[in-house]
Amino acid sequence: MKTLFVSAAIILLFGMAPCAMAYGVIDVIVYNVDGVTPLPHVHILTYDSLNVVRADEVSDSLGRYALSISPGTYHEHLTKIGFVTGDINHIVVVDNETTHVSFNMQLSSCCCDYIIGDANGSGILTGLDVTFSVRYFKGGPHPPYSCECTPGHTWYISGDVNASCTFDGLDVTYMVRYFKGGSPPAPCPSCPPVPYKTIR
């Protein structure tokens, strides 16, 4: 009886195997303009061959994003404030294999497109930008976005919250005051973000 039961179980197992869903992995890494520095907080939309959105995610702190998905051909659309939108086409996914793709984002040349105070490039001003700014001034990672505000003057413009047209320690103090109920952040008047929305 035991032998019969085991045999039946094996037959059932193998009979079900062809029905198991197959998956592969898309492993994406997004770089800044230099092609070396990973770019976090990039919005990535993954489309299938019918142009249906299959995933909607953002790159992590290392610029990476991994997606487990059924075999097929896909394309991805990448966006980030201050950067030119990008597309990765013809991503072929095979069962039980990882497809590695990378992309270098390019800075937008039309204007300074940023969120006031968004020093870490997350797309929103939060207390984490205060922490990021302090770390930067202590030798930590540089802000991911810079812009040529005026001819020959390229700097980390999103960090300027006191309208001084510089990014320095005073901006950190101003951010802290804002979160404690102080005046809202104000951009450099020479190059406000486009479109410019006042933070209240």
Q: What CATH number should be reported for the domain holding residue 93?
A: 2.60.40.10
Q: Which of 17-31, 137-151, 183-197 has the highest mean pLDDT?
A: 137-151
Q: What is the pLDDT of residues 73-87, one digit of tens each?
A: 999 999 887 788 899
Residue-averaged pLDDT of the chain: 86
Q: Which helix (H) or strand (E) holds 177?
A: helix 169-179
- The percent of residues above 90 in pLDDT, for the chain, comes to 66
In a domain, 87, yes or no: yes
Q: What is the CATH number of the domain that holds 138?
A: 1.10.1330.10
Residue 108 has pLDDT above 90, yes or no: no
Residue 111 has pLDDT above 90, yes or no: no
In contact, 161 and 176? CB cutoff 8 Å? no
In contact, 69 and 93? CB cutoff 8 Å? yes
Whole-number pLDDT of residue 118: 95
pLDDT band at 106 (very low <50, low <70, confident <90, very high): confident
Residue 181 has pLDDT above 60, yes or no: yes
Domain that includes residue 132, residue range: 110-200
Q: Is the peptide bond before 195 cis (omega within 30 degrees of 0)?
A: yes
Same domain, 75 and 116: no
Q: What is the pLDDT of residues 17-75, one digit of tens each?
A: 445 578 999 999 999 988 999 999 999 999 999 999 999 999 999 999 999 999 999 99
Query: How many of the other CB atoms lie within 10 Å of CB of 96?
Result: 9
Same domain, 100 and 141: no
Q: Which of 106, 121, 136 is the last residue of a domain?
A: 106
Whole-number pLDDT of residue 22: 86
In contact, 30 and 39? CB cutoff 8 Å? yes
Span 123-131, mean pLDDT?
94
Query: How many domains does the chain fold into?
Result: 2
Q: Which of 91, 106, 121 is the last residue of a domain?
A: 106
Q: Which of 82, 106, 130 is the last residue of a domain?
A: 106
In a domain, 71, yes or no: yes
Whole-number pLDDT of residue 200: 41
Span 100-113, mean pLDDT?
84
Same domain, 116 and 161: yes
DSSP state of 157: G
Whole-number pLDDT of residue 195: 60
